[in-house]
Amino acid sequence: MNYSSYLIYVVPALLISMWASWNVKTTFAKYNKVGNRRGYTAAQIARRILDMNGLSHIRLERVSGDLTDHFDPSAGVVRLSDSTYNSTSVGALGVAAHECGHAVQYDKGYFPMKVRAAIIPMTQIGSSAAMPLALLGVALGLPFLVEIGILLFCAVVAFQLVTLPVEFNASRRAMQTLEEDRILEDDELKGSRKVLTAAALTYVAALLVALGNLLRLMSMRNNRRR
């Protein structure tokens, strides 16, 4: 097995991913200590944003963990983590507004979100089967298995790629709401923006990791042909 492609394509991306994960945790921890002057909780703001967008049917729930916040379209619920739900910090309000941004996207039929949802089944297959198929193809000298593995992993890359506009747009909606509705003051908005920017970098890092693994698979195929 040629490990040089792993060192060249995958390791740098993994290091960036590790840094991005550390960065979002430390940035959130910093701004989770900065409360908003009006004393709003993240749950209150989430409910307010949902209602003002005609999404009173979307439920709001608390979920265990830190930064486990997410919108679940299948259940029609925005879930805020323990570190977010009752927090009055500018970081928590930014996270809550971001997740509500996903709910608004879903309601309005935001195209990149629809594309991402459509390719999830293929992505799940690709993430679990692509690498084993490619490795098996190399080991057994069966090029068609390597090609299938590469094609399947392309779905993983496509998913990570289309995730970027989904996440960036949700953050843009969040910051616009927090500013235009005067929920946060100018200096408070800076903290929320830094938290959401740090979170966005984790998705960029995930794309880089996916691209690194795809390039590794392609390198394995090319080396096999030589």
Positions marked catalytic: 99
C-beta contacts of 181-188 below 8 A and 24+ residues apart: 181/48, 181/52, 183/36, 183/38, 183/40, 183/45, 183/93, 183/97, 184/36, 184/90, 184/93, 185/36, 185/37, 188/34, 188/36, 188/37, 188/90
Q: Which of 114, 68, 104 is nearest to 177 (CA)?
A: 104
The CA-atom distances, in angstroms, between 90 and each of 20, 46, 99, 190, 192 are 20, 13, 15, 9, 5
Determine contact, residues 28/91, Cβ cutoff 8 Å: yes
Rounded distance, CA 130 to CA 35, Å? 46
Could you give the CA distance from residue 165 to residue 143 in angstroms, rounded to a whole number? 35
Matching residue, tokens 């949700």 = 170
The 10 Å Cβ neighbour count of residue 31 is 24
Residue type, 19: W
